[in-house]
Amino acid sequence: MSRPSWKLTVRHGSEVSHQSFDDLDEAVAAMRERALAIRSEGPARTVRSLRDFGPEDQVHARLQISGRGLLRKPVAGVDVRGDGTFMPFRGGVGRAELDPSGHDTPFDLVRETLEAETR
């Protein structure tokens, strides 16, 4: 039996969950479903510390898909910001935001990024 090719990790508040998938499209669909459910919870509250952090400055949840790789695993995902916007990114520790313009959804961009990194 082969092991799954893709892992979806969802970090939402103090909760962390993992799901495994054999198909990238299934993993992206699950990520989209979870991200929309998290966004439907409503906006985050402003946090006051040394400075004010509005909802647009906060990451409410981070959803990340990682694949298998010998030297480098392909990793990409979406941050759900406190104001309900989605910010796609690639990379694990060295994260880089991706420009979602030119794509129907940020989830399409995540899929394209992961497909390109596995070629």
Residue type, 27: A
**Integer-rounded Cα radius of gyration of the chain:** 15
Phi, psi values for residue 86, rounded to 5°: -110, 135
Q: Please, which residues have CB within 8 angstroms of residue 99's CB and are 6 or more apart in sequence?
A: none
| pLDDT tens digit at each of 119 positions of the chain | 456 699 999 999 899 999 999 999 999 999 999 999 999 999 988 888 888 888 899 999 999 999 987 778 999 999 999 999 999 999 988 889 999 888 899 999 999 999 998 87
The secondary structure element, H or E, covering residue 5 is none
Domain-wise residue ranges, the chain: 6-117
